Structure 1
Amino acid sequence: METPRIDIWYGIAEIMDFGYPQNLSPEILKLYITQEGVRSPFSSKPKDKPVPNATLQVTGAVGWRREGLAYKKNEVFLDIVESVNLLMSSKGNVLRCDVTGKVLMKCFLSGMPDLKLGLNDKIGLEKESEMKSRPAKSGKTIELDDVTFHQCVNLTRFNSEKTVSFVPPDGEFELMKYRITEGVNLPFRVLPTIKELGRTRMEVNVKVKSVFGAKMFALGVVVKIPVPKQTAKTNFQVTTGRAKYNPSIDCLVWKIRKFPGQTESTLSAEIELISTMGEKKSWTRPPIQMEFQVPMFTASGLRVRFLKVWEKSGYNTVEWVRYITKAGSYEIRC
């Protein structure tokens, strides 16, 4: 026979103090909830291991990381993942554009390391040049909007020095999120032309240009070109990739597995519509939609200037940095 789990009550006591939230960190609460329950002395099951002293973890300055971690190879993986959102008019004017990004990290570091991340954000570079009493280096700078940090980031140092300093959690975590609305580098330009040739025929021409560097390439490019519901027959040609008509979504779906930078591809299609006896309703022309991933490219222009690791034992570390831009809501009116 088992009694209720008293370790859960300990965890609740740590969360609330006189009705006020005190500690909501899952990593700390896991240190309390370790027992299966208080067993009867007649139970044949083995006794539980003693509960670790979680109070030391809670009252310490770094509650999200436990002490005593050790790795044979100390590595840090940093990924900057961005989603670019676009709404463009049929004449090529940008109506709405922004980038939402995340800085994701995976740390396998021994001890209690202190990390410092430098980005090419405008405020950070200006603050750094001010502290060093010399002009900032030339190069593209960006302005980050709506920045939110993981709890491990030292906000006091960020407010005074504009540097991202932190003692990282072990394993994977999201270091920061941000948004950018100015100076967005669009990875693709889409130029559509749709002509209605009478009541039962249409002609569609779509040209897609990749604007990123010639040494880069996009993967999994999908262009969805809307057509009327009464489409009966399609005949099209593409310079790259494959295309087909999907009646379930009323779109021509054009797929390109690998799209090199600084190149262009075109789709030309003839659409035959079902002839109706009644009055023809005007077609609303939904926007063209795109899907893609561009490795080693950021639509915001964000770059990692440095990633430094300090630890009292002085071990060497290996740092890996990757960039990737994906399509969010990427639409072009036609």
Structure 2
Amino acid sequence: MLSQFFILSPRGDALVTKDFRRDLPRRTHETFYRTVRAWARSRRREDGEEDAEESAMGEHSREYSGAPAVFREDGVNYAHVKASGLYFVATTTRNASGSVILELLHRLARLVKDYCGALTEDAVRKNATLVYEVIDEAMDYGYAQTTSTEMLRERVCNEPVEIGGGLAGMLAAINLMNAASVASGVNRVSSSATQKSVVSASSATTRDEIFVDIIEKVNVTFNANGDVVTSEINGHIQVRNFLQGEDTKVKLALSEDLTIGGKGASAGGAYTGVILDDCNFHETANLDQFDIDRTISLRPPQGEFSLMHYRSADDFKPPFRIVPIIDESVPYKVGIELKLYADFNAKHTCTGCIVTLPIPKGAIGATARLPKHVTASTQHVMYDAAEKQIVWQFKKLPGGSDHECSVQISLQSERIPNVRREIGPLSLTFQIPTFSASDLAVRYLQVVGSSNEPRHRDDPPRNPHRWIRYMTKSSSYVVRI
């Protein structure tokens, strides 16, 4: 099916190249990258950007997202996915199914992450021999043989090169976990703890553990009056399994008040629990008890996989509100007061919150300022002349807090008709650790099987480490002005 497969860095460097059929030129990856860049430049010109601005901002610092996932160039069909900044690309001369190729690329990216430990340019470069071996075992003459991490473990012989310090890095991560536990009273784990291979170079560094991440992406649109127009949560439960023992079983229990199908409201219309519109599960999930007590049993495959995907369009409380107040009373000026409210519990802290406000294209410039009591170490606001937008950044934003920002826009004429239509819309990007927008929670996570039993009579019983983490991110968070 595939003629070629390659992995490219964000700069277009070929990290891995595999020519299955030898029916295409070997430099097709250069054609692909040039086409993607040209497509992105064309998209930016349509949005009013210029190449001079691109070079000033840094050519490779932006996402080249203009090209479609599947396209045809010079008689060659290209399909690609982007994972952690790396391009996973396939070429073919046949009229193959684009959706099948994209799914295959996603699975190959997951395989590379499972065996390298992390999906980064450095990890792929240092484990190039291992990556080639994995691709050789997963593909044969361009056809997929298997994308199961568990099945490939019996065939892959190369050991991974540890990224991040090996045993020393793991001990540091363990110390960090213990320090966090003492400080907060809750077991927490660094995100780098999952960046390890499913195969270990040394049994001394192997930990019997499983990670369960509940990741939710929020889509919210507000109208000019501050009312919610559309709201949706797209979430998934991501599992990264490093448990030892082939017959190990896992039992995971979700919220007892979970309702699927949007039937969780009472007769008066009040919200009565966690409501999901639809969901689907991994093929290994045993759902015999799910309808009774919301528990899922499975024999988890090694490596990373998505146990559950779900969607909720039910009414939920958006984590942020922004109230813009526009003042057009001053000639040649437009004043905007922004008020940001963090409408989530104070025990949670948002990281990486960025508010962007586009200004009219005909504006001369803009200035923005924060209240005097605000320090530069907590938040910062600036005017990006190249993008013609105000950027308001927060390092950490605790729940239950509110913040203000004043913006003054300078105009070329005394008045601009319908100036409100040229301002905005406001957009937010953020992530809130330990927070679930849908209130979906894991009640308990049990590991049963021979991995809990001692290998020898004199060995102590093994106690697998179980980690559960929550993360809410913005997907499309827009406020119309």
Match in the other structure for 2:218 = 84
Relative to 1, partners in 2 of residues 1:280 and 1:268: Cα closer, same or farther, differing over 3 Å? closer
Please say if 1:107 is aligned against 2:107: no
Q: State the partner residue of 1:144.
A: 276
Question: How many Å apart are 1:158 and its aligned residue?
Answer: 4.0
Question: Does 1:167 find its partner at 2:299?
Answer: yes
Shift of 1:286: 3.1
Structure with max Cα Rg? 1
Measured after TM superposition, the shift of residue 169 of structure 1 is 0.9
Q: Distance in 2 between matches of 1:28 and 1:105?
A: 14
In the alignment, is the contact (CA less than 8 A) between 2:384 and 2:391 conserved in 1? yes
Tell me, which stretches of 5 or more residues in structure 2 are unaligned?
1-20, 22-135, 158-197, 261-270, 454-461
Does the alignment pair 1:333 with 2:480?
yes
- Structure 1: which amino acid aligns with 2:467? W
Q: Which aligned pairs between 1:254-293 and structure 2 lie closer than 5 A? A: 254-275=392-413, 280=416, 282-283=418-419, 284=421, 285-293=423-431
Q: Does 1:207 align with 2:339?
A: yes
Gaps of 5+ in 1: 17-22, 36-64, 126-138
Residue aligning to 1:49: none
Q: Is the 8 A contact 1:104 1:173 kept in 2?
A: yes
Distance in 2 (alpha carbons) for counterparts of 1:149 and 1:82: 16
Instruction: Give the structure with the larger helix fraction.
Output: 2
More strand by share: 1
Task: Indicate conservation of the 8 Å contact 1:120/1:140, yes or no.
Answer: no
Instruction: For residue 218 of structure 1, report the CA deviation from its aligned partner.
Output: 0.7
3-state secondary structure, aligned to 1:248:
coil
- Aligned partner of 1:177 in structure 2 is 309
CA distance in 1, matches of 2:312, 2:427: 21
Instruction: State the 1:249 CA deviation.
Output: 2.5
Counting only pairs closer than 5 Å after superposition, residues 1-334 of structure 1 correspond to structure 2 as 25-27=147-149, 30=152, 73-111=207-245, 112-120=247-255, 122-123=257-258, 141-158=273-290, 162-197=294-329, 200-239=332-371, 240=374, 241-275=379-413, 280=416, 282-283=418-419, 284=421, 285-312=423-450, 313-314=452-453, 315-334=462-481
* Backbone CA RMSD of aligned residues: 3.4
- CA deviation profile, 1:82-130 (whole Å, cap 9, x unmatched): 11110011212110001111111111111121111111153579xxxxx
Specify whether residues 114 and 140 from structure 1 end up closer, same or farther in structure 2 by C-alpha distance, changes over 3 A only.
farther
Distance 1:29 1:322 in 2: 28
- Identify if the C-alpha distance between structure 1 residues 142 and 160 changes in structure 2 by more than 3 Å, giving closer, same or farther: closer
Is 1:11–1:32's contact at 8 Å kept on the other side of the alignment?
A: no
Deviations 1:259-318 (A, max 9, x none): 111111101122111128xx9553323310001111111111111111111113533222
Q: Show CA shifts across 1:222-277 (max 9, x none).
A: 1111211122232322134211111333211111111111111101122111128x
Partner Cα distance (1:301, 1:150) in 2 = 22
TM superposition score normalised by structure 2: 0.51
- Identical pairs, percent: 30
Relative to structure 1, is the Cα distance of residues 34 and 84 closer, same or farther in structure 2, using a 3 angstrom cutoff?
closer
Residues of 2 paired with 1:9 and 1:167: CA distance?
Answer: 23
- In structure 2, the CA distance between the partners of 1:245 and 1:34, relative to structure 1 (3 Å rule), is closer
Letter in 1 for 2:408: E
Q: Is the 8 A contact 1:215 1:261 kept in 2?
A: yes
Counterpart of 2:282 in structure 1: which amino acid?
H
Aligned residues: 273
Higher relative contact order (CA 8 A, sep 6+): 1
Provide the C-alpha distance between the structure 1 equivalents of 2:286 and 2:152, rounded to a whole number of angstroms: 24
Counterpart amino acid of residue 107 in structure 1: N
SS at match of 2:318: coil
Does the C-alpha gap of structure 1 residues 291 and 11 become closer, same or farther in structure 2, counting only changes over 3 Å? closer
1:202 aligned counterpart, secondary structure: strand
